[in-house]
Structure 1
Amino acid sequence: MIFRWFESLIDAFKDPVDSMPPKSVWRFYAFYLRQVWPVFVAAIVVGFAVAIVEVSLFGFIGSIVDMAKGAPGTAFFHEHGRTLLWMGFVALIARPVLGSLHDLLVNQAIVPSLTNRIRWQNHRYVIRQSLGFFQNDYAGRIANRIMQTGGSLRASAVQIVDAIWYVTIYTGSAIVLFAKADFWLAAPLVAWVFAYVGLLAVFIPRVKQRSWKASEARSKLMGRIVDGYSNVLTLKLFAHTHREEAYVADAMAEQTDKLRWMTRVTTAMDASITSLNGFLIVGTSALALWLWSEGRVTVGAIALSTGLVIRINNMSGWIMWVVNGIFEDVGTVQDGITTISQPRAVQDREGAMPLEVTNGAVRFEHIHFHYGKQGGVIAGLDLAVRAGEKIGVVGPSGAGKSTLVNVLLRLYDLEDGRILIDGQDVANVTQESLRSQIGVVTQDTSLLHRSIRDNLLYGRPDASEAQILEAVRKARADEFIPQLVDGEGRIGYEALVGERGVKLSGGQRQRIAIARVLLKDAPILVLDEATSALDSEAEAAIQDSLDILMQGKTVIAIAHRLSTIARMDRLVVLDKGHIVETGTHAELIAHEGLYARLWKRQTGGFVAAEDALV
């Protein structure tokens, strides 16, 4: 019960304000730590109490030695009984209770929940990044940084607090206790503190910088490894296993060098502090013995000072490794910030409203978009698609066909112009509502590594079993789904499809994608090479289903295979980002322009224009 209470103090899935996390390292820390400040402050206070108790134990040792100097007898317990009972209470009750409370706050409340809150909030922010963000980086490196940053931020924040308390309480209390016995007894410890802080000031900035570089190299290595795993078929088809090994080995060698570069600093810091600690132990012990020989301190002071400096020696080594670990973690967080704290290229505008589609009319008004390149992909294009109209978009490669779809879905923002759906500028509505009103079947169909059912329910999460079966039947996917079996024995709709759907053939993936869009039943439909993965027989088998899918919808269909869109209400021919022709299939053939040349090239002149319309 007590574990659950502490575990409930921090909600790992609390949603933050949807804004970019700070780019500054310390403001990044503050952004997440202030969300859990009551628990963190409690851990700080309890940590302070634990440090005080630990130091008091050494004071007890000195006191007991001094009390025991007198003659033995029953008077000892009578005279010192209350003091001894207090020492026993601190050692037997206060210390375990405070230590357990500290562990509960750290291990039950902070470690699991704060770590995963940071990961969750970072994931929520990053997953809403633009398509270009993910296209410009390794998926493995992004995931690695998301996972590492949460753990490193939490670990370093907790360790900083513990280290500060132990350093200040141990050294501060020791100086006070030593000075209380004799002022000169504190001199070696004061000198050690200044030297210790000086060494940390020299080494820590180097540790931080080199830790960042090592973490950056580690993320790069992870990205290359995951990239190879994700594209293992390509690797095997081209028989480049050794080339891939060399590619990963190059990143691994870089990571090894950066790690060695970092550990050189930590080794030098360790040697320096170990030598300094030797001077502290020898200097304090020798001075305590000399002061005792002069009658200026008691035997208890010798026991206290030697015991405490040995403890400080051990603590300083621990502090060194903690500080080293802290700045390794800070370097990891700094590396994560380079990915996480990036502005979103495509964002909902302030006050954006949901898109309301009443008819489904789409209008492109003098739009410009270049993917940041010199020269035009789309420049000054105007196109009106009437509600319920079915248009086909054709043209040579690079003409801007898929770009037209990308800007309609607002995967990228226009550089100029606007796109209207039923009179509403898509730049002024929420992205979620825009994409929920447009069904898309793409050329490169990618399924999630989940079950067939889960992939289908992406189209409509609340779909009934009957609706799922009907969509599958219309997409002609009912022929193969019941026979599917995955590696763990799951059958049919429960079978997992593999990463990106690799366990299915191209045609099977495409049919699942079509069934998913059938379930979505959006008023606007985009078919981007929707049947490109199907052979002619399979394409013919689902053509009736596509016709049903298109009924009552505004349709924009892109195809290189011109026979698949020849029956559209209107064809729009693009070339170099401009509309060069528009009309029906028959009209464009008669015009003998670019479309007619593309048609003749594909058919070799063996298919008459009227045959394509049958």
Structure 2
Amino acid sequence: MHQNPIRDIPHYLRVYQSYLGARMYLVFALTLAAVFAEGLGLLMLLPLLQGMDTGAAADAEPTNGIGKLLHDMLAGFGWADSTVAIILIITIAFIVKGSLLFGANAFNAVLRAQLLRELKGRLFDDYSRMSYRYYAERDTGYFINVINTQITQMLNSFRSLMQLGSQLVSAVIYIGLAFVVTWRFGLMALLIGLVLLFLFRWLSIYVRKLSRRSATENGHLSKLLIQFLNAFKYLTATGQAAHVRTTVMASIRRLTEYEMRRGIAESFTTAVREPITVVFIMLIVLVQMVALGQPLAPILVSILLFYRGLNTILSLQSSWLAALGQIGSLEMVRDEFAAQRRHKEPNSSRTLSDLSQGISLRNLHFSYAPELAPVLSNISLDIPVKTSVALVGESGAGKSTIVDLLTLMLKPDQGQVLIDSVPGDQVELSSWRRQIGYVSQETVIFDDTIANNICMWDGDTSTDSALLERVRSAARQAYIADFVESLTEGYQTLVGDRGVRLSGGQRQRLFIARELFREPNLLILDEATSALDTESERYIQESIDQLKGRITVIIIAHRLSTIRNVDYVYLFDRGRLVEHGPYQELRDTEDSRFGRLVALQSLY
């Protein structure tokens, strides 16, 4: 961007135009019509004042200039001698001006609402399609800051820029009319206005710099607050909240300092606007009357026009500073949309039907960055449909990465993921992912009712008995139904943020119930029973065993008791597949690494 912010106005307007189209300029057209109506009303003061000077409008016929033009126009309608007619024209002009100005401001409000809906909706859609790698490179606070805080601030900058455009139109017309009435007066007004804008230029640069810093700091503060709230229990229980407070308060101090500086700059512009206008008006009036000997009537009309014009020019500065105060938000949102276009998850058009053959990995290689060691090296394996397999290995062996590749969240550096013999890069993603149930160690629970957490707002369980029965069936399979039905509100019980009102085991079983409700063709259990007590784990194990032969199940587990009944085991070590085979066969094979893992956990 240019150092001079004024040069960037066309760019900022094009950003908004990309979302709203050319209709946004209708605000300027309505403002133009409103100012013309007001200008006509002010100009009609000229024949009125001339008539009052002489006692009758007819005796005051001017010999040249705008006064003669207005007199001839009134004479054409037969109103040149009517003071009442002139007053009515002035009155009607201001009524029309008010109506048009209301239309401009109301339409501006409609555009802002549409812009807010468009931006937040489009960015949410982009976030739902962004690549997993891009998501992993950012923190939650960043995304929340952009879609919530920065878009709202961007909306404020749009309002200020619209005001700026309207004021610019008004200033040009007022100064132009002052030029018509007394050209020397108009020329002085124009020169003074340009000088004032030049003098305030440094403030514009300063405020935009503060805006950019403020937008960045807002994101940093959001990240800190989210991390604090997510770790609230731990920090409070261990008395370490004060350590986080130091960092949070430092960010708050920086943010408030930027806001204070920006507010002072805007207050300065607002405070000096009227005094400067009055001082220059008085100076020009003295020049007009004393030095140039101009008549009083045109001077009085010019004073009104000049006051409006110069005041509007100074209002331009206030609106421009207000726009620059949020321009950092506009730039951040603009850059985020550009980043989303670059990092959009690639998708294809080949729709998958229900899983019928199975999943195969062929010579997979993967690393998270070129400079990092590979996470997976030359992995090949098969998962036939309606079988159960276990992925086993120490932490960091690459098991969860394989799951991310199976769900097509990640793309391999080399090799292929084949789903029913279709390469993953040819698959229409939603047709595959809606077949997947996924239960991770980190429970995903929403601040809503138990029923909605299971059915994911698929309908209203309070009125749909068939849906409620499906919810209950999933809860029974996950062995959480007895607990839910013992609650006063039953399935309508609110669980709190991230399920804070439930125990760890209850959260995990609720999570599992949701996935069973979906009746997936592929169920992935990533350390799904690690947070459960022995009895709950046994119940979940029985539930998983009941699915055997009905759907495809992939289990990642450190506790090998969970995988005793799987059809096949794959053992990984440092990103390589080192052993595979049926559970019993691997367990009983001499010198088997899997057998040693079983022995270490005292499993038979």
> By the TM > 0.5 criterion, same fold?
yes
Task: State the Cα RMSD in Å.
Answer: 2.9
Partner of 2:87: 84
1:293-352 Cα distance to aligned partner (Å, 9 max, x none): x3xx22112222333333344434432221111112222111233434314676554642
Give 2:124's aligned residue.
Answer: 123
Q: Distance in 2 between matches of 1:505 and 1:227?
A: 21
Unaligned runs of 5+ in 2: 1-7, 61-78, 461-465
Q: For 1:550-565, list aligned pairs within 5 A.
A: 550-565=548-563
Name the CA distance, whole Å, in 2 between partners of 1:225 and 1:546: 39
CA contact (8 A) 1:25 1:334 kept: no
Q: Is 1:58 the equivalent of 2:7? A: no
Greater mean alpha carbon deviation, residues 259-268 or residues 534-543? 259-268
Show CA shifts across 1:425-477 (max 9, x none).
12211222221112212111111222211111139669722222211112111
The answer to whether the 8 Å contact 1:510/1:530 transfers is yes
Letter in 1 for 2:238: F
Seen in structure 2, the aligned counterparts of structure 1 residues 394 and 576 have a Cα distance that, compared at 3 Å, is same
Q: Which amino acid aligns with 2:250?
A: D
**What is the aligned counterpart of 1:576 among 553, 574, 578?**
574
Task: Return the offset for 1:579.
Answer: 0.9
CA apart distance, 1:549: 2.6
CA distance in 1: counterparts of 2:275 and 2:247, whole angstroms: 43
Hey, what does 1:70 align to over in structure 2?
A: 54
Q: Which residue of 2 aligns with 1:223?
A: 223
Q: Which amino acid aligns with 1:86?
A: I
Deviation per CA, 1:520-574: give whole Å up to 9, x if none: 1122221111211111111112322211233322221110001110221111110
Given that residues 475 and 542 in structure 1 are in contact (C-alpha distance below 8 angstroms), is that contact kept between their aligned partners in structure 2? yes
**Does residue 1:473 correspond to 2:476, yes or no?**
yes
Q: In the TM superposition, what whole-angstrom CA distance separates every residue of 1:168-193 from its partner, at most 9, and x where no partner exists?
A: 43344334434533x43234212213
Q: Which residue of the other structure, out of 22, 41, 44, is the alignment partner of 2:25?
A: 41
Preserved contact between residue 185 and residue 284 of structure 1 (Cα < 8 Å): yes
More moved, 366-375 vs 158-167:
158-167
2:457 and 2:441 map into 1 onto residues whose CA distance is: 17
Tell me the alpha carbon deviations over residues 205-254 of structure 1, each in whole angstroms, 9 at most, x when there is no partner.
33223211122112222332233123311221331121111010121122
User: Which residue of 2 is the match for residue 6 of structure 1?
Assistant: none
Give the equivalent residue in structure 1 for 2:104: 102
Is the Cα contact below 8 Å between 2:454 and 2:471 reproduced in 1?
yes
Match of 2:69? none
Which residue of 2 is the match for residue 15 of structure 1? none
Stretch of structure 1 that moved more, 313-322 or 467-476: 313-322
Q: CA deviation at 1:133?
A: 3.3
**SS of the residue aligned with 2:497?**
coil
SS at match of 1:591: coil
Q: Is the 8 A contact 2:210 2:262 kept in 1?
A: yes
Alignment partner, residue 301 of structure 1:
298
CA distance, structure 2, for counterparts of residue 304 and residue 291 of structure 1: 18
Question: What corresponds to 2:527 in structure 1?
Answer: 529
The answer on whether the counterparts of 2:35 and 2:97 sit within 8 Å (CA) in structure 1 is: no
1:549–1:284 CA distance, 2 compared to 1 (3 A): farther
Matches within 5 A, 1:404-553: 404-458=402-456, 464-484=467-487, 491-553=489-551
Task: Report the Cα offset of residue 25 of structure 1.
Answer: 9.5
Give 3-state SS (helix, strand or coil) of 1:417's partner: strand
* TM-score, normalised relative to structure 1: 0.85
Structure 2 contact 27–166 (Cα < 8 Å) conserved: no
Partner of 1:597: 596
- Aligned partners of 2:342 and 2:59: how far apart in 1? 81
Q: Give the alignment of 1:9-20 within 5 angstroms.
A: none
Select the residue among 30, 39, 43 that pairs with 2:14.
Answer: 30
Equivalent residue letter for 2:146: R
In the alignment, the residues of structure 1 paired with residue 354 and residue 58 of structure 2 have an alpha-carbon distance, to the nearest angstrom, of 95
CA distance, structure 1, for counterparts of residue 84 and residue 458 of structure 2: 76
State whether residues 50 and 57 of structure 2, in contact with CA within 8 Å, keep that contact through their aligned partners in structure 1: no
Residues 278, 81 of structure 1: CA spacing in aligned structure 2 closer, same or farther, 3 A cutoff?
A: closer
Structure 1: stretches of 5+ with no match in the other structure? 1-23, 486-490, 610-614
Structure 1 match to 2:319? 322
Residue 307 of structure 2, aligned match among 302, 305, 310: 310
Evaluate the alpha carbon distance shift between residue 483 and residue 200 of structure 1 in structure 2; reply closer, same or farther with a 3 A threshold: farther
The structure-2 alpha-carbon separation of the partners of 1:43 and 1:190, relative to structure 1 and needing over 3 Å to count, comes to closer
Q: Distance in 1 between matches of 2:357 and 2:483?
A: 34
1:129-208 equivalences under 5 Å are 129-181=130-182, 183-208=183-208
Output the amino acid matched with 2:469: A
Equivalent residues of 1:346, 1:412 under 8 A apart: no
Are positions 1:403 and 2:406 aligned together? no
Deviation track 1:352-391 (CA, whole Å, cap 9, x = no partner) reads 2222234241101111111225112111111112222211
Q: Distance in 2 between matches of 1:446 and 1:379?
A: 31
- Distance in 1, matches of 2:115 and 2:422, equals 42
Deviation at 1:421, TM superposition (A): 1.1
Post-superposition shift, 1:271? 7.6
Deviates more, 1:540-549 or 1:409-418: 540-549
Q: Which residue of 2 aligns with 1:383?
A: 381
Q: Please give the per-residue CA displacement for 1:135-173, whole angstroms capped at 9, x wherever unaligned.
A: 433323322221244434444334334323333433443
Matched-pair contact (CA < 8 Å) for 1:214–1:262: no
Q: What is the Cα deviation at residue 272 of structure 1? A: 7.7
Count of residues in correspondence between the two structures: 571
Q: Is the 8 A contact 1:366 1:382 kept in 2?
A: yes
Which residue number in structure 1 is paired with residue 233 of structure 2?
A: 233
The equivalent of 1:259 in structure 2 is: 259
Q: 1:506 to 1:436 in 2, by over 3 A?
A: same
Alpha-carbon separation, structure 1, partners of 2:531 and 2:304: 77
SS of 1:567's equivalent in the other structure is: coil
Question: Structure 2: which amino acid aligns with 1:389?
Answer: T
Tell whether the 8 Å contact from 1:571 to 1:583 is kept in structure 2 after alignment: yes
Q: Whole-Å Cα distance in 2 between the matches of residues 134 and 339 of structure 1? A: 12
C-alpha displacement of 1:54: 3.3
Letter in 2 for 1:211: S
CA contact under 8 A between 1:472 and 1:478: conserved in structure 2? yes
1:332 to 308, 329, 334: 329
- The equivalent of 1:285 in structure 2 is 285
Give the corresponding residue for 1:111: 112
Contact 2:32 2:169 (C-alpha < 8 Å) held by counterparts? no
User: Which segment is superposed worse, 473-482 or 135-144?
Assistant: 135-144
The match for 2:3 is: none
Letter in 1 for 2:237: L
Tell me how far apart the structure 2 counterparts of residues 502 and 97 of structure 1 sit (CA, whole Å): 54
Task: Report if aligned partners of 1:460, 1:520 keep a CA contact under 8 Å in 2.
Answer: no
Distance 1:299 1:29 in 2: 43
Match of 2:353 among 348, 353, 356: 356
CA shift at 1:79, angstroms? Answer: 3.3
Residues 348 and 429 in structure 2, CA contact (< 8 A), matched pair in contact too: no
Amino acid corresponding to residue 593 of structure 2 in structure 1: L
Pairing partner for 1:342 from 325, 339, 342? 339
- Comparing 138-147 with 212-221, greater Cα deviation is found at 138-147
Percent of residue pairs identical: 22
The CA deviation at 1:410 is 1.6
Distance 1:188 1:32 in 2: 35
Deviation (angstroms), 1:405 = 0.5
CA contact (8 A) 2:34 2:98 kept: no
